[in-house]
Amino acid sequence: MKGLKPLLSVRTLQKRPDFTLDVAFESDSALTALFGPSGSGKSTILNMIAGILRPDSGRIVVAGNVLTDTDARIFIPPHKRRVGFVFQDAQLFPHLTVQQNIKFGQWFNRGEKHALPLDAIVDVLGIGALLKRRPATLSGGERHRVALARALLSSPHILLMDEPLAALDDARRSEIMGLIERVRDEFSVPIVYVTHRVDEVRRLASRVVRINAGHVVAVGDTTEVLSP
């Protein structure tokens, strides 16, 4: 993966009657924040990187792999993209135990040579005691840790996080932010992180793409972009 620069390159255009999304940015950062107010199009961009949404036109490249290129008629379906997606409300499978949930992605990518170690992930995220339980019995913070583990175990080339802390109280937010820092530093999976909270950007991100009303307002290092 190293040496393929840039790590992430996104250029997309999407026109809707009431909203136009027109963004282009690149990043090599370990954690890139897509930062902007609600409804600015951040989540849409994330869904386009994951292949859940298809842009009208554009090109998305992750770690040297062209995932979307409307000019060349390339559109890799989500399940072949090797992206880990952490949803705002976790989206754990309610009919499976925690263990089955986190092994779901691992099983589909079992040919992966550089698979991330299950034990280390379970250990770092502190979910060892939860493995036999069902998602319905977990607290909000626990669900997020399991969702993070599940995404990591699919050995993604990039980890996409869509406001993962929005539904949590301040104590839990701080705790999960600490875990995201560890994941960022220990598992060397680049992360794209969508948020509207400036404290999360400041603590986690090294590069910020600031978005407003469907357009990129600023791209740069966290200190530059956040200074007035």
Judged by beta carbon, residue 122 or residue 208, the one nearer another protein is 122
Token representation of residue 115: 């698979």
Judged by beta carbon, residue 17 or residue 94, the one nearer another protein is 94
Judged by beta carbon, residue 105 or residue 141, the one nearer another protein is 105
The residues, any chain, with a CB within 8 Å of residue 174's CB and separated by 6 or more, are: none
Judged by beta carbon, residue 6 or residue 78, the one nearer another protein is 78
Phi and psi torsions of 78, nearest 5°: -50, -40
Q: Does 104 bind another protein (CB under 8 A)?
A: yes
Q: Does 105 bind another protein (CB under 8 A)?
A: yes
Number of shown-chain residues binding another protein (CB under 8 A): 27
Token representation of residue 134: 């069902």
Minimum gap (Å) between residue 138 Cβ and another protein: 11
Candidates 81, 173, 207, 210; binder of another protein (CB under 8 A) is 81
Say whether the peptide bond before residue 6 is cis (omega within 30 degrees of 0): yes
**How far is residue 94's CA from residue 64's CA, in Å, rounded to a whole number?**
35
Residues 83-102 that bind another protein (CB under 8 A): 83-85, 87, 91, 93-95
Q: Does 145 bind another protein (CB under 8 A)?
A: no
Q: Does 55 bind another protein (CB under 8 A)?
A: no
Token representation of residue 13: 């255009």
Q: Which stretch binds another protein (CB under 8 A): 16-24, 28-36, 47-55, 197-205?
A: 47-55
**What is the contact surface with another protein in residues (CB under 8 A)?**
50-52, 77-85, 87, 91, 93-95, 104-105, 108-109, 135-136, 150-151, 154, 160
